[in-house]
Structure 1
Amino acid sequence: MTNISVPNHDWNTALYQDKHAFVWQYGEDLLKLLNPQSGEAILDLGCGTGQLTAKIAQAGAEVWGIDHAPEMIEKARNNYPHLHFDIADATNFQVEQPLDAVFSNAVLHWVKQADLAIASIYEALKPGGRFVAEFGGKGNVQAIVSALNSAITAMAIPEPQTRNPWYYPSIAEYATLLEKQGFEVIYAHLYPRPTVLADQEAGLANWIKMFAGTFFVGMSAEQQAQVIHQVEDTLRPTLYQQENWTADYRRIRIVAIKV
């Protein structure tokens, strides 16, 4: 693997594992689409703390996990010392031997240079190899993003849109990118997946701190707290029910074959 670190987000791995386990728990269902077989060579692209990598290994596949965040890889190695993990960038990674499959859960919405990631995935696969992924699709967390932008604008902090770290494509947009690189898209699905957040009242604030840190670049702790409080006030009528916050997730699932 090519070791490339692009640290553009500070990951709190304890908060990730303890309060955001839904990231990989929902991903377990995606493994049915992957259907890993014994002896297959599979890459878990954006493996996080390694839970789904371990699930793939349990099927008998030879699996590697890569993530651009050193703290995620360190935690994955601690969690699963018998598996192989590397620091690498989704837009520029290499493998020693062509793979049967590339699997990716809840990662590619962080990769704005989608064409570069797709090119790297294509090059890593054998002819006939499959790419199986799920990530945020068009409209994902739209209510949360809108509330964040509004709260930041209200504080006269300029250009909140430039702070958004995510890429949420439509099926047509992403399938077109795949086909341009030489993939055949055999399955694509965009669906709403409202996601209940842990820790009840603190759930939305925890989510924002975990995933939306780039919105707060240059702000004081007091300003950050003010923004989060305003976002909670804005979204409470729609996303807070029965003492739990629910994030307005929309996910895109893709299966594509290298032809």
Structure 2
Amino acid sequence: MNNQEAYNSWAAIYDDNHNKTRDLDALVTQKVLGQYTFENVLELGCGTGKNTVWLAKHAKEIWAMDFSSEMLGKLKEKLDTNKLNLYEVDIQRIWPIASQQVDLATTNLVLEHIQDLTFIFKEAARVLKSGGTFFVSELHPIKQYLGSKARFETGGDLQTLDCYIHHISEYLEVAKRTGFECVDLQEWFDDNNRTLPPRIVSFVFTKKD
């Protein structure tokens, strides 16, 4: 099954199954973005809304995109759609968002499924206002080197998704080429235990004037 089919299947249990990466990512998002103010937000790969619900408490309007209809269905059950604009789209194609429409764009645990990051960063630069913020939170490449990747079990079968390793230097280089400056880079550990490999890496990029 391809990634889209896999996420449609995963949606039924995504919020309930044991997932350290999902849970740490949610904590990271709130801790980092809790230091910022924003009104108009674009969320790439919103999934079932694990971060959308929190973002909605702080934003006036949200544009949320995902290629999984089943994941989006779960999100609709959680949020009043008055401030939420949902799009079932592939983020590797031109986004249905106007240029300079948002002041914050976010992507969480999504870019490991994207082979070429350049298009994503270019589109983020297009839709963000000058000085806008692009927040990225991903499975740390060290965890990937050790064999971790997005996977889940359904019907007794283990489903493993197609993933690509992006080194930290790659994120920084692509950001620089597409008009962003990295203003925050952090590594996050299970239970803050720094004797273990980090699980999550997060970046805050600012769109240059």
TM-score range, shorter chain: 0.7 to 0.9
Q: Which residue of 1 aligns with 2:105?
A: 102
> For residues 5 and 191 of structure 2, what CA distance do their matches in structure 1 show?
27
Shift of 1:190: 3.6
Q: Which amino acid aligns with 1:37?
A: T
Q: CA deviation at 1:144?
A: 3.6
Q: Which residue of 2 aligns with 1:256?
A: 205
Identify which of 173, 176, 184 aligns with 2:173: 176
| Bigger fraction of residues in helix | 1
Query: What is the rounded CA distance, in whole Å, between the counterparts of 1:175 and 1:77 in structure 2?
Result: 34
1:188 aligned onto 2:178: no
- Choose the corresponding residue for 1:121, options 119, 124, 128: 124
One-letter code of the match for 1:66?
Answer: M
RMSD: 2.9
> Retained in 1: the 8 A contact 2:144–2:165?
no
Listed as ranges, the gaps of 5+ residues in structure 2 are 150-159
CA distance in 2: counterparts of 1:60 and 1:34, whole angstroms: 11
Q: Is the 8 A contact 2:187 2:199 kept in 1?
A: yes
Match of 1:90 in 2: 91
Which one of 115, 134, 137 corresponds to residue 134 of structure 1? 137
> What is the distance in 2 between the residues matched to 1:20 and 1:95?
34
Distance between the aligned counterparts of 2:124 and 2:54, measured in 1? 21
* Equivalent residue, structure 2, for 1:79: 78
Judging changes above 3 Å, is the alpha-carbon distance between structure 1 residues 170 and 127 closer, same or farther for their aligned structure 2 residues?
Answer: same
Number of residue pairs aligned between Structure 1 and Structure 2: 187
CA distance 1:28–1:192, shift in 2 (3 Å): closer
Deviations 1:194-221 (A, max 9, x none): 89xxxxxxxxxxxxxxxxxxxxxxxxxx
C-alpha distance in 2 between matches for 1:164 and 1:12: 11
Distance 1:185 1:140, change over 3 A: same
Q: 2-side partners of 1:48 and 1:17: how far apart?
A: 10
- Give structure 1 stretches of 5+ with no counterpart: 1-5, 147-162, 196-247
Aligned twin of 2:37: 37
1:167 to 164, 167, 170: 164
Query: Cα distance 1:110–1:59, how it changes in 2: closer, same or farther (>3 A)?
Result: same
Call closer, same or farther: CA 1:111–1:190 in 2, change over 3 Å.
Answer: same
Equivalent position SS for 1:112: coil
Instruction: Report sequence identity in percent.
Output: 24
Q: Is the 8 A contact 1:76 1:85 kept in 2?
A: no
Q: Following TM superposition, by how much is the alpha carbon of 1:164 offset from its aligned partner in structure 2, in angstroms?
A: 6.8
Deviation at 1:53, TM superposition (A): 0.9
Give per-residue Cα distances to partners, 1:65-101, cap 9 Å, x unaligned: 2111111112111222433321122222131352101
Higher strand share: 2
Q: Tell me, in whole angstroms, the C-alpha distance in 2 between the residues paired with 1:105 and 1:69.
A: 15
Question: Bigger radius of gyration, 1 or 2?
Answer: 1
Dislocated runs of 4+, deviation >4 Å: none
TM-score for both structures, normalised by structure 1: 0.63
Q: CA deviation at 1:138?
A: 1.7
How far the C-alpha of 1:62 sits from its partner, in A, is 1.5
